[in-house]
Structure 1
Amino acid sequence: MPQHYPFTAIVGCEPDALDPMGLSLVLSTISPQIGGVLVRGQKGTAKSTAVRALAEVLPRISVYDGDRFSIDPDDPQATSPDGPFTAESARHERPVRLVELPVGATEDRVLGSLHLQSALSAGEVSYEPGLLARAHRGILYVDEVNLLHDHLVDLLLDAAAMGRSTVERDGISVSHQARFVLIGTMNPEEGELRPQLLDRFGLTVEVSAPHEHAARAAVVRRRMAFDGDPTAFIAAHAADEAALSARIADAQQRLGAVRLGDAALLKIAEVCAAFEVDGLRADIVTARTAIAHAAWCGRASVTREDIRQAALLALPHRRRRNPFDAPGMDEELLDQVLGDDDLPPDEPHQPDEPHQPDEPGPEDPGQGEATDPQGDLPQGDGQGRAPEGGPDQEPPAVDQPRDTPENSSDVNPPEQDLPALPPTGAVPETVVQAGTPSPRPRTFTVRGLGEGAAGRRSRAITSSGRRVGARRPESGPGSLHLVETLRAAAGEQPRRRALQPPTPEPVEGLDIRAEDLRLAVREGREANLVLFCVDASGSMAARKRMVQVKTAILSLLLDAYRRRDKVGLVTFRGQGAELALPPTRSIDIAAARLDEIPAGGRTPLAEGLLETARVLRREQLRDPQLRPLLVLVTDGRATAGAGAVDRSRQAADFVAGLGISTVVIDGEQGPLRLGLARQLATRMGAEHVPVDEVTADGLTRTVRSQLPLSHPAPSTHSSSSRSPSTSR
């Protein structure tokens, strides 16, 4: 059995000095009704280590023998599909389970499904429990939850909120309890969760590697000691582990007796209103977290400090109005709303009246003054996209030195780092920021049926969605299509019986063999890649023009964030091109990189096209089913170096040979026009769009209208059917 790193040995998870991550994990186990924890942080910050270690310190639970659904024997209302169980039924104690949900899990694996062996061998319809049933009264852990399919995240959060899972499929109707602590970890650099899903997590914490030398050294020292002798290291922390387990058990017992007074409840409402969170889920989660924190600290009632700690864990991710808002919490505003005084004690209730904390208590002279906390709120916090220390605070690119030799002629910069932009001579550079993005840009989809990665945009054959056909299992794994399996077997019965030797008794039943198996073909949605290639030269440096282009890209980024698309950005100016934004789903990084793009200098059109082709080919090697769209924004001029025009024509021919559907946005304006962008579009077989349509709505509309047509959908009954990519 593998030995896990002790929870109390993690720097920041010591019992008497829990950091936000450790505190949120502990509070969620004390009160699972909080709704789970989302831990956000860069790689190597002990997120997974802390979650796996948490299960080792939780108190053991009692279950019935032979109960796959782990209902609580002490709960008279609990029922199990494996039951019925009585008070005389045998029971035993076992550790709390930590159930890990793989990113590539299917809906059948999560919910449960038909027991295939019983159905095929004995003809019995029985239910095989899924991960939700196994996680009941335990921990369900999803690493890289931001990469999990959205419909699975919805399913998990619904089960965590309702405490029950119901399965209605394949002739099965089963309902069972599913109360668990949902813990998700993620790296924001790999993409964000949608706001609707983010709000469903009770608590969220941001973790990062410590900057203090002593703390970093302590982490390394402890890890090396564990790797050198795990048994001795675990034994050295056994006492702390036992003390933490006992304290959690005591807090769980104390939880129901903690009093949430009227003054504390009003203060929670005041805090949530001051931070302008949507809905009332924040109030409920903050109240439950404050009660759990009071139980953890051994208090009989909720205090100001409990509310403060609860707000720091429950509100930061609910303050984000859109993906461009910087996450975080204004602690000065929080302290201002909470005040310096302790919460006033509630007036005692009459002896013959039971206390009902959810009903309004007696009138408090001070409550009337706290009903409108919005009077003097600072309006600037959380309203802009640029985080503190972001692009707005950087000096303009014109002040940077431009005579470094390594930037003079490197057309294809290294892919692992984003180097400085190439020099532009004496032409001044300008940096403009995008305007307000369209909150709901027009939705564009790839027409036809693809086979790309699961997303929320274009129709595709995916692992989830509605069932539209069946296929043989040779072309990959999938879920069983029972009806088609039985149909295939039934068609073979006369031939198989004719080949069998005669027997005294007639053979009854259906002879099902491996070659009869059929897997479901499901139609869902796929994600796409929209790659922008933007001319950032001096001829495109007009402020209004660049603002329009950046605003349009920002609107598409917002839409791509919601629909799980990938978006990339290549810019060219001066003497070369660079991949300013590698294809990504991280909206924060994308918005920051977009604002930093300067404009000015000559036009290396050939270098921009070749860099774009390199990015597209690399992405297609990573995902052959990816269906990209290239949006080229330029006036068509090529002025960088001798032979620039000929090189740009050769590069255009090369990109056209890739078969990528392309839109050319013509940046040329004025009464005298050379028409170079139109010629370029003709050479590339691309659609030409005048610059007058390069607006937030116009560019989005253009992208929507010019996405490529896919080939006709293949037969869903063929074992080797695949929808060819439009780029092939």
Structure 2
Amino acid sequence: MSDPAATAPERSPWADAVLAAALFAVDPGGTVGVALRSLPGLARERWLATLRQLLPPDAPVRRLPHGVGDSRLLGGLDLAATLRAGRPIAERGILAETDGGVLVAAMAERMSAGTAARLGAVLDNGGVTVERDGIAIDTPTRFGIVALDEGMTEDERPPAALADRLAFRLDFEGVSAEPPADDAPDAADIAAARARLNGIVAPPDVVEALCGTALSLGVWSLRAPLQALAVARAHAALAGRDEIAKEDAAVAARLVLAPRATRLPLPPPEETPPEDEQQPDDQPPPEGRNEEQENVEDRPLEDMILEAAKAAIPAGLLEQLRLQGRIKPKIPSSGRAGHLQKTKLRGRPAGVRRGEPRAGGARLNIIETLRAAAPWQPLRRRERALAGDAERTARIEVRKDDFRITRFKQKTETATIFVVDASGSAALHRLAEAKGAVELLLAECYVRRDQVAMVAFRGKAAELLLPPTRSLVRAKRSLAGLPGGGGTPLACGLDLAVALADQIRRKGQTPFVILLTDGSANIARDGSPGRPKAEEDALASARLLRAAGLTALLVDTAPHPRPLARKIAAEMDAMYLPLPYADAAAISGAVKAVSPPRESLAG
């Protein structure tokens, strides 16, 4: 067949998606998988149907339900068979059942970190190992993964432990399904490529070029070049070649490395003309080539692959990455989650643990309790028979150590505490922007069912201007009446924020502190004026906030950023964001970028 990548100089996103499906079908275990970001719709269903047609007829395709338990995921004790046989009987989990096929993970953006870690361990080890409930099994399995990402916002992404292992990243936003191309590979082409795959040779210069391209694009994961090499090998097999060519490497760079780019490659260095432009006629040309000349000749392959990757970088990605470079989340996560909440009866089930149901009103998991008791039944029957209790030998005996308690995941509220500098110096520049940012955050928190509080400091003290609330009317009324002027008691504002955060935590919520100040502290804790003592107290209060373990952001609102504000941010262990010319919307965007997650594990 013809080269599957040579249909046109510029391929449509749908054509690249179909090509990715074909390459994935050639080697699901080698390329590991596809992260498909798409809401349910025609394009996604058409792509999944195309993938199924390209897979072998006997290849299993299993769906991984959201919130699946370890016993179903990895396998374990077959409770019914164990109780019937009177001895431990193991059952295979979803991962073992998917050997040689494809696992489709629904709602991957909501996958827990624990499930992603278990998937990663199975992918890395090439098998499922289970040692619990009185059994020990080791089942080899090799499969590919299609992670269906239905996230609506940028912070809703599959866990990094899973996404880093998937070679392809497809985004169907604005992509429509197209009719199949005339030269599109079919199941017979995929089968022939799969048979040819193990004999494909990877030249060293191609391997070096892929590694150099990954480095130039700022792709720091060591898995990415290996995945690109696997994709290049699959593409060579699909094109009928016995060796990876530059076209195969270019396709791999476009499909694997370009979506992971974090920077534009640096421009090539300017070539300096040699001192002797021309050789004397009587001097013979050199017979051999030195190392520098070899490097010059090797560079065009890497440059060609790099250009192919640059052309495929999604529009707007680099600008977004530049913004994220300024504002890095303090808690990397695929969603928003809060701290642990001590509830045992509400939320989504998230595994089990040993415990007593009467301890704090926890809920007994009957199935897991019976599963824990089942392997011990033969021994307990013998014990009862030796004790002369023949009437109870046929019963299932459950003991205290067998009790299993259900754990729950529960979404917690996030309370954003704005600590606003309302002194004379701040009021001159940024008080209006601070008010606008709080109003914008209130509207967003209303949608997320979060709360906002506001602390203002000026003169000689700080005051709680707005207790934690979701009321837009009350918040706007309080903000409208906030005056400005006077000294800057920065330490008092931070102390009040720490005390308020402690109250919020006691209510089971997650506090998040946003400090808006120009950093010109001139009022000490005791209300006395003096810049040296005020700055010393402010740094001490910042250390208290850090010791409390609070996530924080410091927005420097001075026209020219001050060294003290940056130093206070360092003592707070907070993100520092100088915004000398930003507006309320920019402050709101910064808050959303670093705010803590919202889902927690409890029970």
- Class of the TM-score when normalised by the shorter of the 2 chains: 0.5 to 0.7
C-alpha distance after superposition, 1:339-364 (max 9, x if no partner) = xxxxxxxxxxxxxxxxxxxxxxx999
Distance 1:22 1:484, change over 3 A: same
Q: Distance in 2 between matches of 1:448 and 1:606?
A: 26
Post-superposition offset of 1:109: 0.6
Is 1:464 aligned to 2:351, yes or no?
Answer: yes
Is 1:198 aligned to 2:126, yes or no?
Answer: no
The aligned counterpart of 1:125 is: 88
C-alpha distance after superposition, 1:285-310 (max 9, x if no partner) = 11111010122223333222211211
Distance 1:693 1:261, change over 3 A: same
Question: Aligned with 1:29: secondary structure?
Answer: helix
C-alpha distance after superposition, 1:194-240 (max 9, x if no partner) = 44443222222233123xxxx5xx77xx9xxxxxxxxxxxxxx9x99
Distance 1:578 1:192, change over 3 A: same
Post-superposition offset of 1:366: 5.5
Is 1:254 aligned to 2:141, yes or no?
Answer: no
Question: Aligned with 1:166: secondary structure?
Answer: strand
Post-superposition offset of 1:312: 2.2
Post-superposition offset of 1:156: 1.3
Which of 364, 368, 378 aligns to 2:295? It is 368
Mean Cα deviation higher: 659-668 or 258-267: 659-668
Q: Distance in 2 between matches of 1:241 and 1:515?
A: 66
Is 1:479 aligned to 2:368, yes or no?
Answer: yes
The aligned counterpart of 1:170 is: 133
Post-superposition offset of 1:266: 2.7
Q: Distance in 1 between matches of 2:248 and 2:267?
A: 13
Which of 43, 58, 62 aligns to 1:95? It is 58
Q: What is the 5 A alignment of 1:212-361?
A: 244-278=186-220, 280-316=222-258, 318-319=260-261, 333=265
Distance 1:669 1:29, change over 3 A: same
Post-superposition offset of 1:512: 2.0
Q: What is the 5 A alignment of 1:557-576?
A: 572-573=435-436
Mean Cα deviation higher: 21-30 or 272-281: 272-281
Q: Distance in 2 between matches of 1:117 and 1:448?
A: 35
Question: Aligned with 2:68: secondary structure?
Answer: coil
Distance 1:574 1:315, change over 3 A: closer
Q: Is the 8 A contact 1:463 1:522 kept in 2?
A: yes
Question: Aligned with 2:103: secondary structure?
Answer: strand
Distance 1:152 1:584, change over 3 A: farther
Post-superposition offset of 1:171: 1.6
Q: Is the 8 A contact 2:96 2:140 kept in 1?
A: yes
Identity of aligned residues (%): 19
Q: Distance in 2 between matches of 1:42 and 1:607?
A: 43
Q: Distance in 1 between matches of 2:66 and 2:47?
A: 16
Distance 1:487 1:167, change over 3 A: closer
Q: Distance in 2 between matches of 1:518 and 1:102?
A: 27
C-alpha distance after superposition, 1:40-74 (max 9, x if no partner) = 434245575256414531354xxxxxxxxxxxxxx
C-alpha distance after superposition, 1:466-508 (max 9, x if no partner) = x432559975676345445688999999999xxx9xxxxx668
Which stretches in structure 1 are left out of the alignment for 5+ residues?
Answer: 1-11, 61-93, 223-236, 321-328, 338-361, 394-432, 455-460, 501-505, 548-569, 586-598, 600-604, 616-631, 644-651, 677-689, 707-724
Q: Distance in 1 between matches of 2:338 and 2:233?
A: 47
Q: Distance in 1 between matches of 2:291 and 2:549?
A: 59
Q: Which amino acid aligns with 1:531?
A: A
Q: Distance in 1 between matches of 2:350 and 2:42?
A: 31
Q: Distance in 2 between matches of 1:666 and 1:365?
A: 55
The aligned counterpart of 2:17 is: 21
Q: Distance in 2 between matches of 1:583 and 1:153?
A: 31
Q: Distance in 2 between matches of 1:268 and 1:253?
A: 25
Between the two proteins, the alignment pairs up a number of residues equal to 460
The aligned counterpart of 1:520 is: 404
Distance 1:694 1:480, change over 3 A: same
Distance 1:56 1:478, change over 3 A: same
Q: Normalising by structure 2, report the TM-score.
A: 0.58
Q: Is the 8 A contact 2:381 2:393 kept in 1?
A: no
Question: Aligned with 1:464: secondary structure?
Answer: strand
Distance 1:38 1:700, change over 3 A: farther
Distance 1:38 1:675, change over 3 A: farther
Question: Aligned with 1:268: secondary structure?
Answer: helix
Q: Which amino acid aligns with 1:287?
A: L
RMSD: 6.0
The aligned counterpart of 1:56 is: 52
Q: Distance in 2 between matches of 1:528 and 1:52?
A: 35
The aligned counterpart of 1:403 is: none
Of structures 1 and 2, the one scoring higher in RCO (CA 8 A, sep 6+) is: 2
Q: Distance in 2 between matches of 1:494 and 1:164?
A: 38
Question: Aligned with 2:211: secondary structure?
Answer: helix
